[in-house]
Structure 1
Amino acid sequence: MKLLNLIFVLTGLITLNTQAQTKVDSPEEKLEKDRKAIKSLAGFYEVNFNYGEVTAPDPNYKFSKPYESHGNEWAEIIVDEPKRIVIQHMLVINDTTVIKHWRQDWTYEDTDILLYTEGNAWKKGNLTPTDVKGKWTQKVYQVDDSPRYQGYGTWSHVGDHDSWSSETDSPLPRREFTVRKDYNVLNRGSRITLTKNGWMFEQDNKKIIRTASGDKLLAVEKGYEEFTKIDPKIFANAQKWWASQSAYWADVRSVWADIIGAQNTFKLQTMANGKLLYETLFSLGDQSIKEKWTAAQNKEKIKAALQPYLAK
C-alpha cells in the first residue's frame, strides 16, 4: 500500500511538473516579458562586428574580404511606453569622441511599416492586425534618423532563452555602400538573442541584384554583432554630450515623422550641396545648442535642411 501511495504521489508530481512546463502565458504576461527583453538591449557595451560571405551561386564569384571591427557603444532608452520602446545608440571612440549612432524603435502590433525597395527608396506596406498579432516591429534608423529598415517578428521566451527574429530588405550596409556597386539590396535575416553578459545580433544576409525583371542572388553573408556589458564610467562624456543634444534630436525625429507620414513612397538623395545628410544635421545640432534655438526654430531649420535631400 505504501508503494502504491508513493506511485500516486510521484505521478501527481510528474503531472504538476508537466503542467508547469506547458503553462501558456496570458497576453499581458507575454507582453511584459517582451518589454523586459527589449529593454535589456539598453546598456553600456563593447561591440564586436564580424561579417563574412559564406556562399554564392556563381562558382567564379570572388568572395569579399571578411569584415571585423569593434567599438564601445551606449544604448539608451529614450521612449518607454506600454507598446513603444525607443533605444538610441551612441558610439564612443577613444573614450572622448561621441557619435550619435543608429536607433531602434520597437512597436507592438503595429500595422504601419516602411519597406525598402531599392535606390534609397521606401514604400509603405500593408499589414493587417492578424499579420502583427503578438508581434513587435523593429524600426532601424540611420545616424541622421532617416529610415534604414523595418521588420517584424515574435519574441520567444523558452526557459532562460529570449530571442526575436525577422526578415526584411534594406540598403547596403554602411561598411559596403561606398565601395560596392555589384548589388543594390541586402535581404536581412536578423536574430536577436539575449546572453548572460549582453546580447547577440546574428544575421543571415542575402546580397541581391534587384532589377525590373526580378531579384538575383549574388552572395550570402553571415554576420555577428556581439554586445558585451562593460564599465559605464567610460561613457561619461557621451552622457554629457547626449544631455546637451537630446532635445535637438527629438525635434529631428519629429520632423522626419511628419515627412514620412505624409507620403506613401519616400526616396532620399545621399548628397546635397556637397554634404552628406548626417554632416548637415550634425552641424545644425551644434549650431542649435550654441545659439540656443527653441523647438520651433529647430523644426523650421531642420525641415529646410532636409528638403534638398528629398528626391522628387
Structure 2
Amino acid sequence: MKIKLKLIIVATLFSNLILVAQKSNKKEDIKAIKAMCGCYEVKFNFAETFQKEKDSTYKASPVKKDYGLEWVELVEDASDKLVLQHLLIVGDDAIVKHWRQDWIYENTNFYQFFKDKTWKFEQLEAKQVKGQWTQKVYQVDDSPRYEGTASWVHVDGKHYWMNTTDAPLPRREHTIRKDYDVLERRNIHEITDYGWLHEQDNRKIARDDNGKDVEIAQEKGLDLYIKVEDSKCLAAQNYWKENKNMWKNVRDKWQTFFDMNQTIHLEKSVDNKPLFMHLFDLKGDTPKAETDKIIDSFVKR
C-alpha cells in the first residue's frame, strides 16, 4: 500500500509540473504572438529556386522585391484567441486592408484549401493539437486563405512557429501563372531583435480534381518586419477606428459559415467584381445587412 501511495503522489506531482510548464509556455506563446503587433517597415522578397522538370519553354516567375509600411492591430485579445489585422499604408495616407491572422489555442476545426476557391472542412482530435496554436490566415476580404497548427518553440533565446499547409496562389502570381493552382507553404514566424520575420519555403503544385499533385517548382520567401515608431502608422490607426465596425460585421458573417463545419466553395466574381472590390467600396457605417448580402452572393450553396 505504501508503494502504491508513493506512486500516486509521484504521478500527481509529475502531472502538476506538466501543467505548470504548459501554463508557462502558453504565456511565452502569447507574448510572441502579440510581439507581431505595431508599426513595421516591411521588406517582401520572393524567388523561384528549383524547377521540377527540365523544360526549355518553362518561364520562371521573376524575382519579387517590394516594401511597405504596415500597421498590425490587435483586434481580439482572449486567453485562447488572438486576432491580428494587417493594414498596409500606400503613399502618405492611403490604406489597404491587408491580410488577417487569427491565433487559436488547441483548435480542432480546420478549413484546408483544396483548389479552385474550395476549402474542405477537417477535424482533428484534441490530443493531436495539445499545446499547439492554429494560425488561421484570411484574405483581404476576410474570406479563408490557409491555416495550420503547430507548437511555438522557445529555445536558446529564439521564439518561432513553423507549419506546412496548402494555400491559394499569392496575389503576386494569380494573374500571371496558370500552370499551378496550389501553393504548399512552409511558414516560419520568428520573433527577432528588430521585429519579426515570415520565412517561406513553398512548392508550386498542379492538383487535379482527384487530389493528385504534380510539383511545378519551388520558391523561397522572406518577409522582414522591422519595428518603427507607432506614430508612423497613424493613418492606419485612424482608418481602423473609422472602419472597424464594418469589418467586424464582415468577420461575424464569415463566422456563420465557418460554424457550419462544411466545405466552403466561393465564386471568383459577382457582377464582374471580386469580393474584395465590393467590400472596399463600402464606408465604415455600412449596415450589416448590406455586407451580409454581398458575402452571401459569393458563397456557393
Q: TM-score, structure 2 length as denominator?
A: 0.90
Q: What residue identity is the alignment partner of 1:56?
A: Q
Could you tell me whether the CA contact under 8 Å between 1:204 and 1:221 is conserved in 2? Answer: yes
Q: Which runs of 5+ in 2 are unaligned?
A: 1-16
Q: Which residue does the alignment assign to 1:231?
A: 229
Which 10-residue stretch deviates more, 164-173 or 268-277? Answer: 268-277
The alpha-carbon deviation at position 263 of structure 1 amounts to 4.8
Runs of 4 or more consecutive aligned structure 1 residues displaced over 6 Å after TM superposition: none
Q: Which residue of 2 aligns with 1:53?
A: 48
Deviates more, 1:67-76 or 1:301-310: 301-310
Alpha-carbon distance in structure 2 between the residues aligned to 1:30 and 1:231 = 29
Aligned amino acid, residue 307 of structure 1: D
Shift, 1:279, TM fit:
1.2
Contact kept, 8 Å, 2:39 with 2:232, in 1: the verdict is no
Partner secondary structure for residue 129 of structure 2: coil
Match of 2:64 among 62, 67, 88: 67
* Secondary structure, aligned partner of 1:243: helix
Q: What residue in structure 2 maps to residue 128 of structure 1?
A: 125
- The structure with more radius of gyration: 1
Residue 32 (structure 1) aligned to one of 27, 31, 56: 27
Q: What is the match of residue 154 of structure 1?
A: 151
Deviation track 1:51-90 (CA, whole Å, cap 9, x = no partner) reads: 0111122122432211111100000111010010000000
Describe the SS at the equivalent of 2:250.
helix
Query: Which residue of the other structure, out of 160, 163, 169, is the alignment partner of 1:163?
Result: 160
Residues 95 and 234 in structure 1, CA contact (< 8 A), matched pair in contact too: no
Quote the Cα distance in structure 1 between the aligned partners of 2:221 and 2:43: 11
Q: Which residue of 1 aligns with 2:293?
A: 304
TM-score by length of 1: 0.87
How far did residue 259 of structure 1 move? 2.1
- Deviation digits for residues 79-132 of structure 1 (CA, Å, limit 9, x no counterpart): 010010000000001121011111000000000111000001001112111110
Offset at residue 274 of structure 1 (A): 1.9
Structure 1: stretches of 5+ with no match in the other structure: 1-22
Q: Which deviates more, 99-108 or 302-311?
A: 302-311
Displacement of 1:159 after TM fit? 2.8
Q: Is the 8 A contact 2:201 2:220 kept in 1?
A: yes
Residue of structure 2 in register with 1:220 after alignment? 218
1:209 aligns with 2:206: yes
Q: What is the alpha-carbon distance in structure 1 between the residues aligned to residue 266 and residue 229 of structure 2?
A: 38
Distance across 1 between alignment mates of 2:255 and 2:43: 31
Is 1:282 equivalent to 2:287 in the alignment?
no
Shift in Å, 1:221 = 0.4
- Contact 1:115-1:125 within 8 A present in 2 as well: yes
The alpha-carbon deviation at position 306 of structure 1 amounts to: 1.5
Segment of structure 1 superposing worse, 53-62 or 217-226 = 53-62
2:265 is matched with which residue: 264, 267, 271? 267
The residue type paired with residue 225 of structure 2 is: F
Seq. identity, %: 38
Instruction: Give the distance between the partners of 1:236 and 1:164, measured in 2 at CA.
Output: 29
